[in-house]
Structure 1
Amino acid sequence: MCAEALAKWLGDRKTSSILDVAAGTGLCAVELRKLGFTSIDALDPSQRSLDYARSKNRYDKYICDFIGTNRLDIDDDSYDAVTVCGGFIMAAMEPDCLPEIIRLVRPGGYVCITTRDMYLTTVKAFSGGRLEAAMTELQSKGFWEQVSRELVPGYHPGIDAVIFVYRVLR
């Protein structure tokens, strides 16, 4: 889902550079490569997951780190897009990492975030609409603009997903 959503917005698939945040074992990279994307890096706090992804040659670069309010050892504006497929779940990423994600994307690039719809209200870190409120606040400050918010019914039996796509402005 995340790969297909990003493909609608991101131009040249052969030259666009993508960072897959919360990459895990690389399932998003598999889908991105099926769609013709060729330059994909991974960021994940689990070395074990990255080692598995490396054994399958799913990424070009493997970065073992956790994204939060910390500044990652990655230059500003390094990527044309960031994907977060399932990173915003229980006990994982929090809304305060969004500015760091934006910092990594070139102006005009995209951030695609996919999560289960129910997590927007059931995960403690997102309760009271905190995740979407953080996204909206960054939009009101001119950092990015929402270009798509899509509800995907039946992502898994009885579970809906939501896909957010933002264009980075600065």
Structure 2
Amino acid sequence: MSNEGVTTITHNDVQEDTARVFTAECHRVGITTEEVVDFYTKWAMNGKYDQDLHFENYEGPVVAANAVAEYCKDNIPWANVLDVAAGTGLVGKQLQNRGFKHLDALEPATGMLEHARRKNIYTNLYCEFLNSKRLPIDDDSYDCSVSCGGMGEGHIPLNGFSELIRVTKPGGFVCIVMKESYLSDCKEYEDGLEQLVKDLEDAGKWERLSRDVVPNYVFGENGVMFRFKIRDVVCDRK
């Protein structure tokens, strides 16, 4: 019997479709931060998050880790890095594989954080959401702060950027990787993300090193990566 015209649906196809649905649901218009946290906790607790977002579907963690490693270069074994919206530790594991030894996680979903804890990647794990609220972290604590997949509807708000700047050392590195379409699909970002990036640069808070499109960031769709250097002399870091 000929197979011509017959579409074979594999386990990987089903897995990718499920991951797409889950990702879309936790970024739907109008979702609250509380709903986002609850959704991610349940996704992690069913044991499917890492499986659904394996490398073939989600290249973001590799892209983010490569950017941090490139910036740190010879300082990798000593660099203090904060993984923001760390999830189950996908970025942290990539950093660990590249020789980073001093990694902390910031993640508001308890289920995700518990999975990250079991991997023995991080020294300190903070169950906190990045927003305008002051984090329980001292000023100038990290050589690098990185966030991959933490941006989107109901996710990290723009007022969280000030905390990224506060906890990162002068001369330090901030890397944000996100799905490119969120720059237009998320109302807050469409109206203000790139303007805020410019405003913070004009205010002497950080220097934008690059804004790069990331092909095949997730499910074959493009991402965008912002890289910043915190100013050595920063005005009004309160």
Q: Which band: TM-score by shorter chain?
A: over 0.9
| Structure 1 residue 157, shift from structure 2 partner | 4.1
CA distance in 2, matches of 1:13, 1:28: 15
| Structure 1 residue 113, shift from structure 2 partner | 0.2
SS at match of 2:137: coil
SS at match of 1:10: helix
SS at match of 2:106: strand
**Map of 1:8 onto structure 2:** 70
Indicate the percent of aligned positions where both proteins have the same amino acid.
38
> What TM-score, normalized by structure 1, do the two folds share?
0.95
**Map of 1:67 onto structure 2:** 130
**Map of 1:33 onto structure 2:** 96
1:150 to 212, 227, 231: 212
Answer whether contact 2:179 2:218 (CA < 8 A) is retained.
Answer: no
| Structure 1 residue 153, shift from structure 2 partner | 1.6
> What TM-score, normalized by structure 2, do the two folds share?
0.69
1:49 to 105, 112, 119: 112
Higher relative contact order (CA 8 A, sep 6+): 1
The structure where helix makes up a greater share of residues is 2
CA distance in 2, matches of 1:116, 1:134: 18
**Map of 1:18 onto structure 2:** 81
Pair member with larger Rg: 2
Residue segments in structure 1 that go unaligned for 5+ positions in a row: none
Answer whether contact 1:6 1:165 (CA < 8 A) is retained.
Answer: no
**Kindly tell me: are residues 157 and 44 of structure 1, through their superposed partners in 2, closer, same or farther at Cα, counting changes over 3 Å?**
closer
The number of residue pairs the alignment matches comes to 169
CA distance in 1, matches of 2:84, 2:215: 24
1:162 aligns to 2:224 (yes or no)? yes
The one-letter amino acid of 2:152's match is I
The structure where strand makes up a greater share of residues is 1
The one-letter amino acid of 2:166's match is R
CA distance in 2, matches of 1:94, 1:158: 25
**Kindly tell me: are residues 80 and 91 of structure 1, through their superposed partners in 2, closer, same or farther at Cα, counting changes over 3 Å?**
same
SS at match of 1:154: strand
Aligned-CA RMSD value = 1.1
